[in-house]
Amino acid sequence: MYSHNKGRMQCDRLWKNARLATLTGEGLGIVESGLVAARDGRIVFAGAVADAPTLDAAEAIDCAGRWITPGLVDCHTHIVYGGNRAHEFELRLAGASYEEIARAGGGIVSTMRATRAATEEALVASALPRVDALIGEGVTTMEIKSGYGLDLATELKSLRAARRIGEVRPLSVTTTFLGAHALPPEAIGDKDSYIATVCDEMLPAVAKAGLADAVDAFCEGIAFTPQQVERVFEAAKARGLRVKLHAEQLSNLHGASLAARYGALSADHLEHVDEQGVKALSASGTVAVLLPGAFYFVRETHKPPVELLRQHGVRIALASDSNPGTSPLTSLLLAMNMGATLFRLTVDECLAGVTREAARALGCLDSVGTLEAGKWCDLAIWDIERPAELVYRMGFNPLHARVWRGR
């Protein structure tokens, strides 16, 4: 695929004198004396200097012993929305619960109103500072969900805004249609007929416009039943779209098993998943996406069963869940610290969770998530002495440089 000239390898750019966490294999894939070479935006070599071919590079960058990891992947965000929910935060501080606020017409529906009222340009403009915070910590791939429109026009507008973010920033964006996020007020309590609209009108239009890479739903007492989610998954399947699910966040409705049955890319949250659900995820190879920001922010006390996930060999990813209601978080570094401190994940699990496993959860492990020849050259270069520093610190950003597609 790449031209070799007398045993030499041509490349555009070379990062030398670096320590690598390639994230290939099962662990961190540490290389003490390593280099990365890129051509046409893709990695042509990543590994030990001793194993490297002779490289002819147009440009060589001396990393002075810094660490290089894959660019970070945030595999679960709701980062496009209107307004914010600082006022509800105040109500919660005064004693109201997330569910009480949601049932009283606040919560997701209040963000829905602000999102419907915003133009596409305004949605992009309000999301960009949040996106930039993630980019500033080395994020190179991000998933963005809709789900604050809850009508066709606003869901399309939100997904277009999400795609636009990937055009105005050096960032790979994958989009997810989350029409089944909450019941809009005009559906006046009729969840089944709203789900019919999601399946028969919204999802086909979103798919036809090519605006979604996957389909998600919120399976919960305050949202939709497993039977309703199943209808959404059937509609997604009919359009050839992969699915994922907000499952077992506040209670156990056996959403994980349902997601697994549909070969979901991921099941997300999972605080209340039981062993049967964990086994199902294991059998289907569905990634468990843990969201410690939401756990922390809603002061959840029921932890996801990390030890069970490990025992059954379920892959674990970590994401920001960046959203205005339950996780106003724009830091994967802090998400890693919370994953370790609150959920007792190891450093290796945290780092894999925001790179390799997050890429797996998006179905794009073939192109990002590890440092391997053939993948996009998406790198995060860190001013640290050991990888644990990325997890250990709170509110400190040691990013030295970020590379997206070789630049």
Q: Specify the residue, 22 or 158, whose C-beta has the smaller distance to ligand DI6.
A: 158
Q: Specify the residue, 362 or 371, whose C-beta has the smaller distance to ligand DI6.
A: 362
**Number of chain residues interacting with ligand DI6 (CB under 6 A):** 14
Q: Specify the residue, 319 or 350, whose C-beta has the smaller distance to Fe ion.
A: 319
- Tell the smallest beta-carbon distance from residue 47 to ligand DI6 (Å): 39
Rg of the chain (C-alpha set): 21
> What is the spatial distance between Cα 101 and Cα 105, in angstroms, rounded to a whole number?
7
Q: Specify the residue, 76 or 360, whose C-beta has the smaller distance to Fe ion.
A: 76
Q: Specify the residue, 44 or 108, whose C-beta has the smaller distance to ligand DI6.
A: 108
| Partner that binds at residue 111, options ligand DI6, Fe ion, none, CB closer than 5 to 8 Å by kind | ligand DI6
**Number of chain residues interacting with Fe ion (CB under 5 A):** 1
Compute the half-sphere exposure of residue 13: CA atoms within 13 Å on the CB side of its CA: 17
At which residue do the structure tokens 């009222």 appear? 117
Please identify which residue in 294, 317, 350, 364 interacts with ligand DI6, judged by CB under 6 A.
294
| Partner that binds at residue 108, options Fe ion, ligand DI6, none, CB closer than 5 to 8 Å by kind | ligand DI6
Kindly state the DSSP code that residue 53 receives in the 8-state scheme: P
Query: Dihedral of CA 365/368/369/374: which sign?
Result: positive
Q: Specify the residue, 18 or 108, whose C-beta has the smaller distance to ligand DI6.
A: 108
The answer to whether 358 touches 115, Cβ cutoff 8 Å, is: no
**Which 317-336 residues touch Fe ion, going by CB under 5 A?**
321
Residue nearest to Fe ion (CB): 321
* String of contacts with ligand DI6 for each residue 299-338, x by CB under 6 A: ----------------------x-xxxx------------
* String of contacts with ligand DI6 for each residue 48-77, x by CB under 6 A: ------------------------------
Q: Specify the residue, 9 or 270, whose C-beta has the smaller distance to ligand DI6.
A: 270
- Tell the smallest beta-carbon distance from residue 98 to Fe ion (Å): 13
DSSP calls for 160-220:
HHHHHHHHHTT-EEEEEEEEETS--GGGTT-HHHHHHHIIIIIHHHHHHTT--SEEEEEES
Which of 145, 147, 241, 144 has the alpha carbon at shortest distance from 198? 147
- Tell the smallest beta-carbon distance from residue 296 to ligand DI6 (Å): 12
- The token pair at 336 is 């890693």
**Which 92-151 residues touch ligand DI6, going by CB under 6 A?**
107-108, 111
Question: β-strands 4-5, 8-21: how paired?
Answer: antiparallel
| Four-point Cα dihedral 275, 276, 279, 281, nearest 10 | -100
Q: Specify the residue, 70 or 147, whose C-beta has the smaller distance to Fe ion.
A: 147
- Tell the smallest beta-carbon distance from residue 112 to Fe ion (Å): 15
Please identify which residue in 246, 360, 375, 402 interacts with ligand DI6, judged by CB under 6 A.
246
Contact stretch for Fe ion (CB under 5 A) within 19-27, 89-97, 313-321, 393-401: 313-321
CA distances from 265 to 22, 84, 172, 217, 343 (A): 23, 29, 18, 13, 22
For residue 210, which amino acid is it?
Answer: G
User: Which residues pair with residue 332 across a beta bridge?
Assistant: none
The answer to whether 184 touches 151, Cβ cutoff 8 Å, is: yes
CA distances from 202 to 97, 177, 226, 306, 402 (A): 31, 9, 19, 36, 37
Q: Specify the residue, 213 or 268, whose C-beta has the smaller distance to ligand DI6.
A: 268
Question: Applying CB under 6 A, which residues contact ligand DI6?
Answer: 78, 107-108, 111, 181, 218, 246, 249, 294, 321, 323-326
Chain positions contacting Fe ion, by CB under 5 A: 321
